[in-house]
């Protein structure tokens, strides 16, 4: 197991370098003028072409590819991601301000993904081919046929448009005043629900929750639908294994056979898939936050793409890619820990 982990860790920097290389290649498809926008705060103020030329040379924007790459990496290592035209602030600042909102959404969404996806998947497998299984399967198939944005719009329509229960955004205006101005409210974690509890402020807690429910439902649907299918097929395959028959042959009761003997094995590939699904929610975040105008990283990513804020676009690409790479690493390592056959090589 150790050699497996070491190997994965050694590959990490290589993959990350490759990622930066790919991003830079895409960035280089743009003209130097377009890329310049990432380096200066107000490109509209560029009066004459000579000034633009000077700046382009200063920032190495017309250097040959390898040199340009090196300079860009240098900038990256220093933590300088440039300027976001759409947010009108340094990219790094734009990211760190919006990160907690997205984190909060994703963390809460993990719960239904794992609980519903796995739980229903097991039930579906055990009731193989009868009515319950068919119903669950259909729900799941609809789940991954339904684009996130359509489902999100649908949820918004029903629960806000018609019922008025779950408004878009992150907080109601009155709550925003309190939280963002910091009057009588200390933001310890910047996760509003947690902070509200820490401050003992229940109304804000409930308000935040109210705004989170619809995005959580939307974000998690596709993920738990996919996880359900994987759990179901993993369980079906496992239930056919010889050792399940052995357990029955010993007189073990059916509940233990399913939930100990079978499930413990079936969960191994499912757990890694669950990890992938959660990481995959990174993509869904963009759409979900856009539909519900939830002020997180995804919303900013979409709006900066619309406004052709190239600097921001490649920055969030970099961010999401790094998150995925690290996430995959964690998932791979935990796989090695869960499966005794890998753990005790």
Q: Find the binding residues for other proteins in span 296-315 (CB under 8 A).
A: 301-302, 305-306, 308, 310, 313-314
Distance CA(29)–CA(35), nearest Å, equals 10
Please report whether residue 6 would count as binding other proteins according to CB under 8 A: no
Please report whether residue 1 would count as binding other proteins according to CB under 8 A: no
Please report whether residue 241 would count as binding other proteins according to CB under 8 A: yes
Distances (CA, A) of 156 to 44, 215, 219, 226: 38, 9, 13, 22
Please report whether residue 18 would count as binding other proteins according to CB under 8 A: yes
CB atoms within 10 A of CB 225: 24
Please report whether residue 324 would count as binding other proteins according to CB under 8 A: yes
Distance CA(87)–CA(326), nearest Å, equals 27
Among residues 339, 311, 329, 323, the alpha carbon closest in space to that of 82 is found at 311
Minimum distance of other proteins from residue 199's CB (angstroms): 32
Minimum distance of other proteins from residue 105's CB (angstroms): 15
Q: Which residues, in sequence order, are bridge partners of residue 84?
A: 89
Please report whether residue 124 would count as binding other proteins according to CB under 8 A: no
Q: Which residues, in sequence order, are bridge partners of residue 90?
A: 83
Distance CA(167)–CA(160), nearest Å, equals 6
Q: Which CB sits closer to other proteins, 212 or 301? A: 301
Residue of 64, 182, 200, 251 interacting with other proteins (CB under 8 A): 251
Question: Mask 221-240, x = binds other proteins (CB under 8 A)?
Answer: ------------x--xx--x
Distance CA(44)–CA(311), nearest Å, equals 16
Please report whether residue 125 would count as binding other proteins according to CB under 8 A: no
Distance CA(234)–CA(222), nearest Å, equals 18
Angle of helix 202-239 relative to helix 148-156, nearest 10 degrees? 140
Distance CA(327)–CA(235), nearest Å, equals 25
Question: Mask 141-170, x = binds other proteins (CB under 8 A)?
Answer: xx-xxxxxxx--xx-xx--xxx--------
Q: Is 83 helix (H, G, I), strand (E, B) or coil?
A: strand
Minimum distance of other proteins from residue 301's CB (angstroms): 7
Distances (CA, A) of 184 to 63, 201, 210, 336: 52, 10, 21, 47
Among residues 132, 129, 147, 268, the alpha carbon closest in space to that of 218 is found at 147
Question: Mask 267-296, x = binds other proteins (CB under 8 A)?
Answer: -x----------xx-xxx-xx--xx-----
Please report whether residue 110 would count as binding other proteins according to CB under 8 A: no
Please report whether residue 265 would count as binding other proteins according to CB under 8 A: yes
Minimum distance of other proteins from residue 158's CB (angstroms): 9
Please report whether residue 259 would count as binding other proteins according to CB under 8 A: no
Please report whether residue 328 would count as binding other proteins according to CB under 8 A: yes
Binders of other proteins: how many residues, by CB under 8 A? Answer: 78
Among residues 227, 197, 225, 223, the alpha carbon closest in space to that of 209 is found at 197
Q: Which CB sits closer to other proteins, 134 or 189? A: 134
Residue of 110, 213, 317, 336 interacting with other proteins (CB under 8 A): 317
Residue 84 CA, distance from chain mean position = 21
Q: Which stretch binds other proteins (CB under 8 A): 79-87, 193-201, 210-218, 337-345?
A: 337-345
Q: Which CB sits closer to other proteins, 193 or 290? A: 290
Minimum distance of other proteins from residue 327's CB (angstroms): 10
Q: Which CB sits closer to other proteins, 4 or 160? A: 160
């Amino acid at each position: 197991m150790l050699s497996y982990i070491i190997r994965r860790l050694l590959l990490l920097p290589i993959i990350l370098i490759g990622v930066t290389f790919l991003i830079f290649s895409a960035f280089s498809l743009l003209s130097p003028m377009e890329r310049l926008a990432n380096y200066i705060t107000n490109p509209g103020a560029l009066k004459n072409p000579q000034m633009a030329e000077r700046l382009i040379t200063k920032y190495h924007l017309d250097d040959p590819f390898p040199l340009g790459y090196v300079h860009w990496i240098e900038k990256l290592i220093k933590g300088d991601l440039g300027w976001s035209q759409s947010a009108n602030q340094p990219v790094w600042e734009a990211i760190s301000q919006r990160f907690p909102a997205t984190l909060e959404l994703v963390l809460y969404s993990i719960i239904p993904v794992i609980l519903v996806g796995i739980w229903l998947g097991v039930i579906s497998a055990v009731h193989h081919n009868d009515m319950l299984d068919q119903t669950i399967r259909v729900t799941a198939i609809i789940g991954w046929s339904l684009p996130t944005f359509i489902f999100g719009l649908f949820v918004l329509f029903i629960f806000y448009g018609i019922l008025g229960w779950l408004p878009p955004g992150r907080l109601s205006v009155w709550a925003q005043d309190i939280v963002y101005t910091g009057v009588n409210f200390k933001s310890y974690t910047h996760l509003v629900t947690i902070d509200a509890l820490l401050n003992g402020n229940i109304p804000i807690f409930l308000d935040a929750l109210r705004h989170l429910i619809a995005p959580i439902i939307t974000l998690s649907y596709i993920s738990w639908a996919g996880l359900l299918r994987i759990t179901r097929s993993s369980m079906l395959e496992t239930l056919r294994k010889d050792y399940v028959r052995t357990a029955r042959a010993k007189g073990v009761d059916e509940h233990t056979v399913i939930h100990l003997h079978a499930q413990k094995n079936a969960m191994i590939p499912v757990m890694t898939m669950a990890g992938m699904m959660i990481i995959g929610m990174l993509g869904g975040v963009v759409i979900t936050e856009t539909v519900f105008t939830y002020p997180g990283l995804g919303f900013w990513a979409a709006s900066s793409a619309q406004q052709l804020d190239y600097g921001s676009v490649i920055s969030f690409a970099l961010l999401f890619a790094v998150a995925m790479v690290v996430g995959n690493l964690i998932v791979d390592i935990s796989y090695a820990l869960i499966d005794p056959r890998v753990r005790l090589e």
